[in-house]
Amino acid sequence: MNIVDLLTRGDFLIAVLASISAAAVVFTFGSSLIVRQEMKGRIKRVALERDKMRAEEMARLRGTGPQDARASIRRGSETKSYMKNAVDRFDLKKAFQDENTVDQLAMAGQRGQGALTTYLFQRFATPIVIFVLAALYFLVLAPGGRPAYLNLVYAIGAGLVGAYLPVLLLKNRIQKRQHSIRRSWPDCLDLLLLCVEAGMSMEHAFKRVAREIGGQSPELAEELTLTMAELSFLEDRTRAYENLGRRTGLDGVKAVMTALIQADRYGTSVGQALRVMAEEGREARMMEAEKKAAALPPKLTVPLIVFFLPVLFIVILSPAMIKVFTGSVASTIGGG
């Protein structure tokens, strides 16, 4: 049996898909065991960003250029040289980058020029790779008796679909990250209010809350730690608050940052602003819970009809049907 017949057999493809499904299940359950390693990686990335801001601030005070500051930092997340060469050679920034690309990468937790270069290279390479694999499958491994041009059209369609794969993966990461931050943000506001009313500055409050909220939402802890570093090193505190709202992309976080900016600019009470925003956050969370509870009955209608009602009818009608059939059989035997 040659390799082409093996790859086109139905039982072989079913076995491969079953293996992929089993690996996905193992990865899903095993991912909960590597949260600590992920947290260490986040802390390392935040430390690198903090060192970068410190170097840029020292370069500004000394009068040196930002390039010298960046050169003094050894960053472990630099992109591969072939990615950078491909981006520069084919001018991928003009083709795939717009004014929202950097903000979307920041919402997904990917910051810096290295993340942008990797994303642009993925946008360029993914459709080509998928097209080559699809063409190899449709034209060589499983032609299926179709004309060559039709198989080529299928391969081109697969490549076009693959062009949107990096965008979908990025949106998925943004949604997961925003969900984690949105879920823990009301608790974060309550902790910030307690820290501020206890007499802490905003830098120490962000640091303490990031340490406490890390077990519930590592993403939010990462953003708070980075904001604390920006408050310490940036010349304008307003930029630190605006950057936090921009990196999260959530309206609730942007509203709180706007309140903090106004309190810092006009000298009003930060504690009062946080108290008002914390109450609004709790009310918004309660309204979200009520909304989900109100949407639950319509969602349960289809499972109730498909799964529960047939079983209920079987349980109710089975004794009567058994008696009817038993009586008819007995009458038939008696009459015979």
Taking only the tens place, the pLDDT of each residue in 192-241 is 999 998 988 888 999 899 889 988 888 899 899 889 888 888 888 899 99
- DSSP string for 36-55: HHHHHHHHHHHHHHHHHHHH
Query: What pLDDT, on a 0 to 100 scale, did the predictor assign at position 40?
Result: 62
**Residue whose token pair is 């009817």:** 324
Query: What pLDDT, on a 0 to 100 scale, did the predictor assign at position 209?
Result: 92
pLDDT, tens only, 57-108: 556 545 555 444 444 334 444 457 888 888 888 888 888 888 889 999 999 9
Percent of the chain with pLDDT over 70: 79
Q: Are 223 and 192 in contact (CB under 8 A)?
A: no
**Average of per-residue pLDDT across 311-326:** 84
Q: How far is CA 297 from CA 169, 286, 304, 312, in A?
A: 32, 18, 10, 19
- Long-range (24+ apart) CB contacts under 8 A made by 48-52 are 48/73, 48/75, 48/76, 48/77, 49/111, 49/226, 49/229, 50/225, 50/226, 50/229, 50/233
Lowest mean pLDDT among 19-23, 111-115, 183-187: 19-23
Average per-residue pLDDT in the chain? Answer: 81
pLDDT at 171 over 90: yes
- Domain definitions of the chain by residue range: 182-288
pLDDT at 175 over 90: yes
- Range 182-288: architecture per CATH: Up-down Bundle (1.20)
Residue 198 half-sphere exposure, CB side, CA atoms within 13 Å? Answer: 12
Residue 224's closest CA among 38, 35, 43? 43
Lowest mean pLDDT among 26-30, 111-115, 178-182, 251-255: 26-30
What is the C-alpha to C-alpha distance for residues 157 and 134, in angstroms, rounded to an integer? 9
- List CB contacts of 161: < 8 A, sequence separation 6 or more: 130
Query: What pLDDT, on a 0 to 100 scale, did the predictor assign at position 191?
Result: 92
Residue 9's closest CA among 146, 142, 148? 142
Total count of residues recorded for the chain: 336
Global pTM reads 0.70
Q: Are 300 and 204 in contact (CB under 8 A)?
A: no
Largest CA distance in the chain: 113
Confidence tier at 317 by pLDDT (50, 70, 90) = confident
